[in-house]
Amino acid sequence: MKIMVCLKQVPHQDARLDINADGTWIQEDNIKFEINSYDTYALEEALRTKDAGEADVFVVSIGPDRVGQALRTALGMGADRAIHVNDDEANGSDSLGLAKILAAVAKQENPDLIFMGLMSDDDNSAAVAPMLAQLLDIPHTTAAVKVERSNGTVTCDREIEGGAHEVVELTAPCLIAVQTGLNQVRYASLKGIMAAKKKPFDVKSVADLGLSGQVGTGAAKVKIDRIAPPLKGDTAEILSGSTAEVVAGLVSKIKELGLL
């Protein structure tokens, strides 16, 4: 079995985020990056499949040189090989552009399963996974909180509104976008880190994938116009007085606004 895991490197959760000079993204110099939390669960799920039987697990990421570190960590955790799409032409890709790049990799590799995170900690768009499945014309599910495999099919519990779970069955090849918390993610052991040095690490360009002119800023249908912190307004009302008074005030406010 061949399993593809898509990873994104995102700013570390503790990193201080400042907006860059032209106001279109954050200042990336001198901040720490890490693997998108959702994707670590996806990788763990793939590695568990490998532990349970035979599987070739390869990880794919798109981005500049720094992304190599995320892929190496994944190799240290146990992935067999890495593909790094490292090309300035990919910069500025929207979700569809990214999905196209990943689809081109998938077409070259023909994986039986694709695992990825439901969304990324930085963009929160949750769009790449369904787009990728669509481009590959394979079944997919999102927000998986439990994944079970039996020959040729994958059964997933997915989280839906109100805490309910929906159970779906997919036929491979298929794509599963996971929710956080569905497993306990392993660390890269020192042995794993050392072994990673010898694992195949391919670097590909947009042209290698036959996508010249089809991705990146030029092709993007969604462009980030401006990012800004929420404006501080004066619409908040602060209740004061004793605890009893504050609670009474809060209750009447809730009633007044018809929130309950």
Task: Identify whether the C-beta of residue 83 lies closer than 8 Å to the C-beta of residue 63.
Answer: no
| Under 8 Å between Cβ of 75 and 199 | yes
Q: What is the DSSP string of 141-155?
A: EEEEEEEEEETTEEE
Nearest residue (CB) to another protein, 55 versus 70: 70
3 state DSSP class of 126: coil
The residues of the shown chain that bind another protein, judged by CB under 8 A, are 34, 68-69, 72-73, 76, 187-191, 193-194, 196-197
Which residue spans within the chain are E strands per DSSP? Answer: 2-6, 9-11, 33-35, 56-62, 81-85, 113-117, 140-150, 153-159, 165-171, 174-178, 201-204
Nearer to another protein, 14 or 54 (CB): 14
Q: How far apart are CA 184 and CA 200, in angstroms?
A: 26
- Cα 22 to chain centroid, rounded: 26
> Of 150 and 184, which has the nearer Cβ to another protein?
184
Compute the least distance from the CB of residue 192 to another protein, in Å.
Answer: 8
- What is the nearest approach in angstroms of another protein to the Cβ of residue 193? 5
Specify the residue, 108 or 189, whose C-beta has the smaller distance to another protein.
189
As measured in angstroms, the least distance from the Cβ of 188 to another protein is: 5
Q: Which is nearer to another protein, 64 or 249 (CB)?
A: 64
Closest contact distance (angstroms) between CB of 191 and another protein is 5
How far are the Cα atoms of 23, 45, 242 from residue 170, in angstroms, in the given order? 42, 16, 57
Shortest distance, position 58 Cβ to another protein, whole Å = 18
